[in-house]
Amino acid sequence: MAQSTYEQVLARLKLAKEVLNLDEGTFAILCEPERALEVNMPVRMDDGSIKVFKGFRVQHNTSRGPGKGGVRYHVDVNYDEVKSLAAWMSFKCGVVDIPYGGAKGGVCVDVTKLSEGELERLTRCYTARIAPIIGPMKDVPAPDVNTSGKIMAWMVDTYSVLTGQYQPGVVTGKPLSVNGSLGRNEATGRGISIAVRELLKRLNLDPKKVTVAVQGFGNVGGLGSILMSSLLGVKIVAISDITGTYYNPNGVNVKAAFEHSGKSPKKLLEGYTEPGMVKIDDPKAVLYTECDLLVPAALENQITAENAGKIKAKNIVEAANGPITAEADEILKKAGKVVVPDILANAGGVTVSYFEWVQNLYGYYWTVDEVNDKLDVKMSAAFDSCWKFAKEKNITMRIAAYCLAIKRIVDAMQARGIFL
């Protein structure tokens, strides 16, 4: 029987526990979230009817600072998924050493079936429901799957009205007009390109000779592809979304493809073509592309024990959260493939979210070059630490990242003690 998403988290935690020699009590604390809130939101639909939506906000560990993590709107959102994502956020913030704990939120909804008015009313109700446990010094949400800067602006407004004062620092990923940060929109994709750059350096590979396949072509996969191509010079030979896999051995024009999907009502690649391109109906075909580097940038559990043996890429950089299961990890390890884990590779978004939060607290804002330079310093240092620790302990990059993150969390837990 396949493991649940949270069982995947626990499997990695156990491996890190053995390396760090954690005591059972500390390990038990890390295995469960501090707080989990389930909410139900009645929303008046455009036709006058009332529909009730279920949502969650989970705070995994706040020993190092306020909770931090996005809010996703998706029909498959459930408690197990949100709990897992909250834990990953704890480790992600730990590995890049920013003063946050981990949290995550989600609403079970098909956003394609909502009007903009219905979406706004749902967002405002969700914000009101979780308001008691969020705040600039408590827990700071951000965009995630199917949420955006516009939705963050609605959250800021709702929270500010409820508290009686303007509080832009309650969420990050906001539009610039609502005190967002320059560089935030492309931060996750830029972080991916930095992780790829650092990996290729250590493998002594010339980026201009490297071929890449990218699964998922939304904000992370699309902007990540553009930045990898423009900044590093790698050749993106395959991209995909739910409409299929788009393969071009001569290299996909990723900027044109992203512009095409941006103009599509549903932000999809459907109908995109260019000279030399072949479309394959199966969206997962991209995973099996013959290439040097695979970048999964879709949803979790895409590479499993059932299909890990089909992966032809020599190296993998996880742009999505949890795209590789624990069982698949072992198969890829035995095959000699290098995997740069999600909690390191896609930490660019939360890092620049931290920068946005700092700017909100100070009321002083940085240039885009300052933001990008600070991101590069953070991501490069985190990659270097993980790479060296992995080599020192003869463990995978994933377990090295978990160990470094958990060590920082545990140090904070032990320094603060347990409140009785």
Task: Flag whether 370 is in a domain.
Answer: no
One domain, residues 193 and 94? no
Give yes or no: residues 158 and 195 share one domain. Answer: no
Active site residues: 104
pLDDT tier for residue 420 given thresholds of 50, 70 and 90: low
Tens digits of residue pLDDT in 213-266: 999 999 999 999 999 999 999 999 999 999 999 999 999 999 999 999 999 888
Residue 419 belongs to a domain: no
Of 289, 305, 340, the residue that ends a domain is 340
How far apart are the C-alpha atoms of 106 and 75, rounded to whole Å?
A: 10
| Residue range of the domain that includes 295 | 187-340
> Which candidate, 107, 71, 86, places its Cα nearest to that of 343?
86
Name the nearest CA neighbour of 70 among 100, 42, 29, 112.
100
Q: Where are the alpha helices (DSSP H) in 203-325?
A: 219-227, 254-263
Per-chain mean pLDDT for the chain: 96
* Under 8 Å between Cβ of 298 and 323: yes
* Structure confidence by residue, pLDDT tens digits, 202-218: 999 999 999 999 999 99
The answer to whether residue 414 is domain-embedded is no
Beta strand 293-296 with 211-215: parallel, antiparallel or unpaired?
A: parallel
The percentage of the chain sitting over the pLDDT mark of 70, rounded to a whole number, equals 99
Does one domain contain both 11 and 105?
Answer: yes
- Residues 203 and 379: beta-carbon distance below 8 Å: no
In total, how many domains does the chain have?
A: 2
Judge residue 267's burial from the number of C-beta atoms within 10 Å of its C-beta, 0-12 exposed, 13-18 middle, 19 or more buried: middle
Tens of pLDDT, residues 277-301: 999 999 999 999 999 999 999 988 9
pTM over 0.85: yes
The continuous run of DSSP H or E covering 406 comes out as helix 397-416
